[in-house]
Every structure is written in structure tokens, then in C-alpha cells.
Amino acid sequence: LKEYSENAEINKAEINSEDIGVICGGTTYLYAHEALGESVSYFKIGMIYPFPDKAVIEFAKKHKKVFVIEELDPVIETQCRALGIDVIGKERFTLLGEYTPALIKKAVLGAEIPDDNCLEESLPARPPVMCAGCPHRGTFYVLKKLGLTVSGDIGCYTLGAVPPLSSLDTTICMGASVSAAHGMAKARGMEFNKKLVSVIGDSTFMHSGITGLTDIVYNKGANTVIILDNSITGMTGHQENPTTGYTIRGEETKQVNLIALCKSLGVEHVVVADPFDIKEFERVVKEETNREEPSVIIAQRPCALLKRVKYSGHCVIGENCKNCKMCMKLGCPAISVKDDKVVIDKTQCNGCGLCVNVCPFGAISKED
């Protein structure tokens, strides 16, 4: 690899000047090019490890001044200094935030670029939302309705923290939903525990939730853990995981049975429930949180973006709508208010049907 890195085309030098050489990579290379053009030379690092020592030393020798331009920590800069190259780096560039061509031009040449990219009107806020048809929406709708304390985890479902669902109370790191809730329950006692759940995705549970659940059983806890089983690893781009039955390369393999796994850890109450069946899901959550023993609810419904999930048609709001805005509480991107009336945007709705189950007046129906 070291030999490959020294000669790889992705680690390339562009010699334009003897005065200034710039070592950079990724977006900072593009920003530097935009800011400095052909007035400087570039060493574009495409493979940072193993570091192309000889190639970088050769590049540095050809220039009077060498800058390292990289966002955040001085990783390339540290490598260069370790090789004895006298570079200019973080003494000119901030450790924080994203760089811009203007920032780079000022740091390297001392020149200002007028900031003429500002729009006169401010853009509407576009907070991140769960997708139309997202299975997690039903879970968080119920948890919010019941006013539970929700110990959250890392995944697309972390979006359950933002309005209008506003359900997650904590998100610390992978697996912490289970272990933090265990600690909360031990510290606050059984009555608090009956108003507390952990939520963790299927792949995160496999990654680092099993140990927390084992501890709950071992330490005589009584937590309720909700495994958000959407049959895929959503947040990072639909990777398979041990619960899906396919390897990361898409080959069939053994599938972990979540029910059997949780039972094998000593959890006696393991229930599978559909988060789109709002009434039943609410009943299950109430029943399991009321127990004075550990329990697991597997909230099972596949991610709406999986190819095999084929919702059809779209939903429409009928004349009997009372404009109560209950359906707005789902935070579905297809539902909005226009001229003070709730409307469903057909182009965004995928016909998942969740809003039909939420409207108290039966005003929403499906159309093909």
C-alpha cells in the first residue's frame, strides 16, 4: 500500500509556480483551485494513509513556501512536519468549520474576495424530516402522545427529536439508548421507569444494544426497549445487517432472529408490533412499560425506501375535514397547511396510509 500510495494517480502534483505550493485534498482542493487558480502549485492528496512521503517531500522541495489546507484537525500538516517539511498550516487556517474560497485566498495571498453570494431575501427554514412513509413516524407519534421519556440512539430515527414529533429526550452515542435508560431507571426508581423507553434501530441494536439489554436483565432492571426494526440500516444508505438475512454484498446468509435473541438474554416479554397500527401500538407500549420486568417491543415495518416496499396511490383529505390539524402532528412532508387548510401534496405522498389511522374524523382516504 505504501508503494501504491507513492505512485498512485490519485496523489498528484500540479506544478504551476516555484513560489507557492499547496498540499490539500477533497473539497479544499476545489476551493483552493477556485481561489488561487494557476498562481500556485498543488499536491492533491487522494489517499491519505499510507502517506505518500517521498512524493510530498519532492513536491515541497520545488517551492519556496508550502501551505497545507485542510479542514478541522491538522492531519496532513502533522504528517508533513514529521517528515521535516516546513509547512504553513493551522497558524493561518482555522481549526473550526468549513473553508471557503474567500477564506483560502485571504490566508494564502492576503487578498479579499468580495462576498457577493448573499441573497437579499432569507430562505425559508428547511429542517430535516423523516421521509414520507417512514415507519418510525408511527412510533414517535405514539411515544409523544403518551408523554414518555425517550432515551434515543444514533440512526435516521434520531430525527424523532425534531418538531413536531419532538419525542427523543437524549441521544448520546450508539447503544446508549439502552444503557442510559438502564441507569436512569436505577437512579429514579420504578415509577419513573414506567414512563421511560429506549428506542434503538435494528442494526444499532446488533452493533451495541445487546450488551445494554444483557445488563438490564443481569442487574434486575425493568426497562422497556423498543427495537425500531425497519429491516435495513437506513441512516448510512441502506446497508444490510445481521437482522436482514443478507451480507453487506447482498448474498443470502443466516438471519438473526431478534425475538429469539432477546429471549435468550433472559427477556421474557418480547412483542412484535406494527407502528402504523397506532391503536394497537399504543396499547402494547402501555402494557409493556407498565411491567416491572424487562420487556422488548419490536416495532416492525420496513423502510419506505426499500425497493420491495410498494405503497400505492396517495391520500386525499375529504370535505368532512374539521381542520383540527391532528394529522400535522405526524410531521409528514406531504402534509402541509395552505390558506389555513390542511392539504396533502400528491407528489410527495406515497400512500403509506398512516395519516388515515390518525385522523379522528375519518376525513383522510386513499386514492389509487
Which 282-321 positions form the footprint of ligand SF4 (CB under 6 A)?
315, 317, 321
Task: Note whether 36 binds ligand SF4 by CB under 6 A.
Answer: no
Is 216 in contact with 295 (CB distance < 8 Å)? no
Q: Which three cell numbers stand for residue 130?
A: 423523516
Q: Minimum distance from CB of 297 to ligand SF4 (Å)?
A: 21
Q: Which three cell numbers stand for residue 288?
A: 409493556
Q: Which three cell numbers stand for residue 79?
A: 504528517
Cα distance between residue 54 and residue 31, in whole Å:
25
Is 240 in contact with 247 (CB distance < 8 Å)? yes
Nearer to ligand SF4, 165 or 334 (CB): 334
- Tell me the window of 29-37, 107-115, 162-170, 353-361 that interacts with ligand SF4 (CB under 6 A): 353-361
Cα distance between residue 82 and residue 79, in whole Å:
5
Q: Which of 219, 247, 322, 336 binds ligand SF4 (CB under 6 A)?
A: 322
Task: Note whether 55 binds ligand SF4 by CB under 6 A.
Answer: no
Nearer to ligand SF4, 188 or 341 (CB): 341
Cα distance between residue 261 and residue 212, in whole Å:
13
Cα distance between residue 177 and residue 180, in whole Å:
6
Nearer to ligand SF4, 184 or 352 (CB): 352
Cα distance between residue 290 and residue 82, in whole Å:
60
Read off the DSSP letter of residue 241: -
Task: Note whether 351 binds ligand SF4 by CB under 6 A.
Answer: yes
Pick from 230, 200, 258, 213: nearest CA to 134: 230
Q: Minimum distance from CB of 13 to ligand SF4 (Å)?
A: 52
Cα distance between residue 64 and residue 21, in whole Å:
8
Nearer to ligand SF4, 121 or 368 (CB): 368
Task: Note whether 133 binds ligand SF4 by CB under 6 A.
Answer: yes
Nearer to ligand SF4, 166 or 214 (CB): 166
Is 199 in contact with 214 (CB distance < 8 Å)? no
Q: Which of 108, 150, 168, 352 binds ligand SF4 (CB under 6 A)?
A: 352
Nearer to ligand SF4, 105 or 136 (CB): 136
- Tell me the window of 35-43, 105-113, 229-237, 326-334 that interacts with ligand SF4 (CB under 6 A): 326-334
Task: Note whether 135 binds ligand SF4 by CB under 6 A.
Answer: no
Nearer to ligand SF4, 248 or 337 (CB): 337
CA dihedral in degrees (191, 192, 195, 200; nearest 10)? -130
Task: Note whether 130 binds ligand SF4 by CB under 6 A.
Answer: no
Q: Give every CB contact of residue 182 below 8 A, 6+ residues apart in sequence.
A: 212, 215, 216, 219, 221, 223
Q: Which of 49, 85, 326, 347 binds ligand SF4 (CB under 6 A)?
A: 326
Residue numbers at the binding site for ligand SF4 (CB under 6 A):
132-133, 315, 317, 321-327, 330, 332, 334-335, 342, 344, 349-355, 359, 361, 363-364
